Structure 1
């Protein structure tokens, strides 16, 4: 069971409904409409049944082309959902940098790289807006960095209180522990090779998300400024209309 808004699965480990979070003007993110998760490639038939029961009809897949080729998308194919593939990480972080994903300043810099390609940004936000008419899910591989950043940006677009955005990022740690245990038992070659990498893989310090959002403020004047720079105000309006309730 995932903590706080978490959902029970057998082989998905970092899943939650972002519904129930509140905005600065008192509105609420609609429950059952926006989910974040890890890669459902290993989903069991029971897991697929849960996804079906949740009514997920669209998915934004943030994995790289190589990840999709290696692992496929069997769960989504079986459910016949609309899929938007949008890799926000078209670079390979050096292995020696892996342990640094618990350092706030490092994360603030690295996470901005997910936002730097205008064409990718437009494809991502247009996909999110298009799929938001029905329950949608966002995922990468582990559901931590890429999914955490995109989820945070969407929540900031919705004007969710910043403390709640930061807190949501931070509660992925238990899911990462479950994912690591699954790797160790079933796919040991995916276990991070060094102690520093394992430590960073398991941790989601709130300070990292706080530093990233502050960097977005400093660079663009906030997520609204970023979206305006890329001509995505209409997509932002669509997301607010579809994902918020009074």
Structure 2
């Protein structure tokens, strides 16, 4: 099954125009918009919710360690792991990491809903030591999941943390939410239309491969920004209901 490249290009062009019109209407707005790929499924997958994301490679990274502020969640015991991680980040001058938060501080300093919401809005990307990932959904609350800013896993058991952060920035991620649609960040409005199209096509190829029944499980594909309507780029007729004799 193939998606029409021209249809993707038209949708990307329309979203670029939409974002441009928004920016002209807001004179103080210099922020780039994210483009999202929405995959509508024919059926809700019969699989448990999984908060560990699936890495989706794209040719043109949405984030780089030079243009992104990353908040890193780390394993700690009474703050000790947190201090060591901050020291390592500072000494190695890791680009991109703007803040390090240990789990113990996440439980105390960011206990309230408002504190969680402010933390969510303060950074572009959240990464976490993969060993603490299972503990984070309960500690972070709903804000992170509503804004699709769940932390992505990085392996911090080795020495080269910078490479792990760079690897995390250079991909996008598929999260299984348990519903009948999936939303994946695929591009930035500041990227060229061709870069956006290439990212979308690469993300579709990798993501559909993870869907149960692959293309047979996909009802439709859409592109959108946070504030735009969803633009269809692929759609099939619903499966006919099974007759009961």
TM-score exceeds 0.5: no
More helix by share: 1
TM-score, length basis structure 1: 0.26
Relative contact order, CA 8 A, sep 6+: which one is greater? 2
TM-score, length basis structure 2: 0.26
